Structure 1
Amino acid sequence: MSTQDLRVGIIGVGMMGADHAERVAHRIAGARLVAVSDPDTARAGALAARYDGARMIADPLALVADDDVDAVIIASPGFVHEEQVLACIANGKFAMCEKPLTMDSESSLRVLRAERDAGRALIQVGFMRRFDPQYAQLQQLLASGQLGRTLLLHNTHRNKTVPNPEFRSEMIVRDSLVHEVDVARFMFGEEITTIQVLSPAPTSHACEGVIDPQVAVFTMAGGGIVTNEVFVNCQVGYEVRCEAVSERGTAIAGRPQTGLYTTLAEGGEGYWGGLADPDFTVRFNRAYDLEIQAWADASRRGSVVGATSWDGYAATAVCAAGMESLASGAPVAVALADREILQ
């Protein structure tokens, strides 16, 4: 591992990018914040001024190419991810790209091909639940075989409110359900073959024409089934959990005020109570810390950890099929490229 600090640049200084800036500057060992970039240069400049040694670079591609930037966190809107990720690959720089990797399967495939042609993996995709202690513990428990074969997953994903009228039904699939897509693949260790998105009667708190909540059903390659509730205007708080149903027991990650709850483990049941987290930055604060620390450590070693560009591509492909199912109500098969030809 390099003995030098990883010099990190951040593209996008909205809620997520600003949160990562604070994280890199104050909580990540072996890394320091050196640059930020955003179309809102005043906002980016103000953020840079808060941290010693950080500067604002107006052009995000110039930030990527800058000799004083070793690695990049991409927290910009999804529609610019392809260009920025490809720039990182072209410049040989490790990048942690917040989901989605790109907006569609074709552009995600271009990223995969660019990484293949570069001869090394450089991209980590920001599916932070893989680093949440309870989700990681659940995955390890399922992989151990202690509970027998996993048969079902039940995912719940609730957000207090999304007041933005531009957050439409399709974005619930692409920007919210995408996390459940990765959780299903992470827990089962296999691909999703079909998706069906169902449309219950919408809440009165949703913007006009928005289907919220949504229920999605995944069929896994090995025959397992995953049910997913996504409700982005639940009015209560941020609530995310995953229950696995296996042949010899069950386990739940994400119950408030408890550790991993399992019917097989010793001890009494956990309980459901206490205050709901207000948003994702609070609920997954520890997961983000662990994710960015792992990314920084891996970048200094010259490797990639966590979700890969293939994971980002697979999630995008599932969500594309999900948006098709949202429109029709019917199950839609997920089409994936041959992974072997991309390696």
Structure 2
Amino acid sequence: MSTLGIAVIGAGKMGADHARRIGRTVGGARVVAVADPDGDRAKEVAAGLEGAGAHTDAAAALAAPGVEAVLIASPGPAHEEAIGLALARGLPVLCEKPLTPDPAGALRVLEAEQRLGRRLVQVGFMRRHDAEYEELKGLLDAGGIGRPLFLHCRHRNAASPSFFTSDMLISDSVVHEVDAARWLLGQEVTAVSVFSPAPSAAAPEGLRDPRFVLLETSGGALVDVEIFVNCGFGYEVRCEAVGEGGSAEIGGGTAMAVRSAGRRSEAIAQDFTVRFADAYDRQLRRWVAAAAQGGVAGPDAWDGYAAAAVCEAGLKAAHTGVRTAVELVERPALYR
């Protein structure tokens, strides 16, 4: 079995994490090129990978010998250009979310794929590869709790990065619930409302945290999301599905519980790379296998576009305080 040569675009936290996984926990692939505008950072990541070259731009990395697929983990505004370069070479792509920062850019990606006549772009919504989410998806698809009525979602971080903005609560965090809800329910999001309580005392000045987001779907279900990125105690993602015949919840945690000195305690993950470590591994394994055959194994460019459109509506709702409809183009045949 041949080893898939991968170019990693972006050597920040996510790019470095993906690069470490490839070839160590993910077989059948190796990193042959790393690109980042910060040349020192690219060299640092490449130095830990046998045979990987370091570059300061995506075009040079994609032109490196042995590149057969591309993993994009650069900042969102740089995604469209890197995807375009990859598609021009007919290379399969795994792109971290967002596909693009806005639906207009995502539509251009859809158009480029349609000109090729095949799907090459996969979006890194890793929750679809998480064992608990997969179990819930199977239950809902089988009608195990009847027709879904509600999804109650909680998404909490111990603390937000210094660069985090109020808009990013929607575009960088709630976007995961948007994709998960679309996938779990098999429905599109049709409208978004955003509510903001008084900011938490732990939130940096100017950050509207927490927020409460309400999604309406094409099948008549309601999805509520509590997004709280400075909760203080750890990283927590939960989802409860309520149907006509029952309910099911995931994300309750399965860590070891310790009873001592009259107390019961258990550890709480502090970071998404810990909570979803297995999901990231499964995502990469599946993508590598699919990319070797020139395809995708997860959310595609249409899913990236739909998520961008919902987030755009969510940002408008957050800024205006008004329920905002989601506008989607007709789904192209390639993505049906």
> TM-score over 0.5 for the alignment?
yes
- Secondary structure of 1:301's match? coil
Matches within 5 A, 1:79-98: 79-98=77-96
Q: Cα distance, 1:341 vs. partner?
A: 6.6
Corresponding residue for residue 294 of structure 2? 302
Match of 1:335 in 2: 327
Conserved in 2, the CA contact under 8 Å of 1:100 and 1:312? yes
Aligned counterparts of 2:239 and 2:28: Cα–Cα separation in 1: 33
Structure 2: distance between partners of 1:202 and 1:58: 40
In the TM superposition, 1:42-121 aligns within 5 A as: 42-121=40-119
Name stretches of at least 5 consecutive residues in structure 2 with no aligned partner.
256-263
Judge conservation of contact 1:112–1:342 (CA < 8 Å) in 2: no
Deviation, 1:87, is: 1.1
Q: How many residues align?
A: 327
Q: Is the 8 A contact 1:71 1:299 kept in 2?
A: yes
In the alignment, does 2:206 pair up with 1:209?
A: yes
Separation in structure 2 between the aligned mates of residue 278 and residue 158 of structure 1, nearest angstrom = 10
Structure-2 residue corresponding to 1:313? 305
2:283 aligned to 276, 291, 296, which one?
Answer: 291
Aligned partner letter, 1:326:
A
- 3-state SS of the aligned residue for 2:297? coil
Q: Does 1:251 align with 2:243?
A: no
The one-letter code sitting in structure 1 at the alignment partner of 2:34 is V
| Alpha-carbon distance change, 66 to 26 in structure 1, aligned in 2, over 3 angstroms | same
Note if 1:237 corresponds to 2:229. Answer: no
The equivalent of 1:325 in structure 2 is 317
Matched residue, 1:179: 176
SS state of the match for residue 18, structure 1? Answer: helix
Query: % of aligned pairs identical?
Result: 48
Aligned counterpart for 1:10 among listed residues 8, 11, 17: 8
- 2:27 match: secondary structure: coil
Could you tell me which residue of structure 2 aligns to residue 134 of structure 1? Answer: 132
CA shift for structure 1 position 69? 0.6
Q: Work out whether residues 113 and 342 of structure 1, in 8 Å CA contact, stay in contact via their aligned partners in 2.
A: no
| RMSD, aligned CA | 1.3
Partner of 1:263: none
How far apart are the structure 1 equivalents of 2:61 and 2:116?
Answer: 20
Deviation at 1:273, TM superposition (A): 5.8
Tell me the CA shift for residue 65 of structure 1: 3.1
Give the Å deviation of 1:249. Answer: 1.0
The answer to whether the 8 Å contact 2:3/2:29 transfers is yes
Q: Which consecutive residues of structure 1, in runs of 5 or more, have no partner in the other structure?
A: 259-271
SS at match of 1:184: helix
Counterpart amino acid of residue 326 in structure 2 = V
Deviation at residue 299 of structure 1 after TM alignment? 0.6
Provide the C-alpha distance between the structure 1 equivalents of 2:92 and 2:12, rounded to a whole number of angstroms: 21
1:235-275 deviation per Cα after TM superposition (whole angstroms, max 9, x unaligned): 110000111001111111111117xxxxxxxxxxxxx9611
Rounded Cα–Cα distance in structure 1 between residues aligned with 2:172 and 2:98:
7
Greater than 4 Å deviation, 4+ residue runs: none
Distance 2:334 2:197 in 1: 39
Query: Following the alignment from structure 1 to structure 2, what is the Cα–Cα distance between the partners of residues 195 and 8?
Result: 38
Deviations for 1:283-318, whole angstroms, at most 9, x for unmatched residues?
000000000000000011222111000000000000
2:158 is paired with a residue whose SS is coil
Amino acid at match of 1:225: L
